[in-house]
Amino acid sequence: MTVFISYVLLGLSLAAPLGPINAAQIDQGIKNGFFHSWLIGLGSILAELFFIIAVFFGVVHFLEIPFMKTFLWLFGAFVLLYTGFESIANSQKLEVSHSRNKDSLRKTFMTGFLISITNPLSILFWLGIYGSVLANTINRYDHFHLVLYGGAILVGLMLWDVTMACISSGFRRFLNTRALRGISVLSGLCLFGFAFYFGMQAVKLLFHL
């Protein structure tokens, strides 16, 4: 259960940086309410599920090679460091729009999906992150646990999706630039912590510790 919760927290940390999806969620939540904001995140999660499935079936058979394990740990650490840095750096540029203009639910869902599926960094991101998860569990657990922990990451993403929808629509009076910057900085620091863990796993493999 502890391991499952840790991957749920990883999913939360991955979702929390205020990038394009969260910016779109905030905008839709302020303009159109909870369901529009939630559907932006849900569309993004569907795209991320496709990436996870692709990585699982394309990489899982090569993860027993020590070189691949080391590479994935290092790449995962790099991606987390970069994402955490971007989250903290971009927090100072964050602004909130209060304009209102209704969009259809279908269009909103597709917007979230397309933002993620057309991002050229998304597949590299999930190769590093979910590849690292696979590298960590392939020799210790069976395929059921690989799917379970991948699902835990998705649970974390979904929890953040609902949280963002609630914050941006139900608690608009608290939605100011300072609060959002604080969330962005905190999520960046969490990603730094995961990056350190991934980096240490790579060092252990490299030096046979």
Q: Structure pTM?
A: 0.66
Q: At 95, which helix (H) or strand (E)?
A: none
- C-alpha dihedral over 24, 26, 30, 33, to 10 degrees? 80
pLDDT over 60 (residue 96)? no
Look at residues 2, 52, 11, 45 and name the one whose alpha carbon lies nearest to residue 190: 11
DSSP per-residue codes, 1-19:
-HHHHHHHHHHHHHH-S-S
Counting residues of the chain whose pLDDT is more than 90, the rounded percentage is 3
Q: Is the dihedral of CA 165, 171, 172, 177 positive or negative?
A: negative
pLDDT digits (tens, 9 = 90+) for 139-184: 666 667 777 877 888 888 889 888 888 887 776 666 566 776 776 6
